[in-house]
């Protein structure tokens, strides 16, 4: 159990440092003086990328939860 928590925590912290911009977006945004626009675009991309994974994880958890709840009730 501790190993799963450690791996999950590592994956979460590693994802915080990810750069999600494509090569074209990065080239255009790095050419401007302030990096605030580039950071905003990167945050937006990361947000849009994370939502489907969270939804799939939620559905997987519900299926997992219902499977084991039904298994306990039949015993």
Show the DSSP H helices in the chain as ranges.
Answer: 2-16, 23-30, 36-74
d(CA 54, CA 45): 15
DSSP state of 10: H
pTM for the complete prediction? Answer: 0.48
In tens, the pLDDT along 22-56 reads 767 767 777 777 777 777 777 888 888 889 999 99
């Amino acid at each position: 159990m501790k190993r799963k928590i450690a791996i999950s925590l590592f994956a979460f912290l590693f994802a915080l440092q990810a750069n999600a911009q494509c090569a074209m977006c990065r080239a255009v945004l790095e050419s401007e003086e302030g990096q605030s626009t580039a950071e905003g675009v990167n945050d937006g991309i990361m947000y849009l990328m994370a939502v489907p994974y969270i939804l799939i994880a939620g559905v997987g958890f519900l299926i997992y939860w219902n499977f084991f709840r039904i298994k306990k009730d039949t015993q």
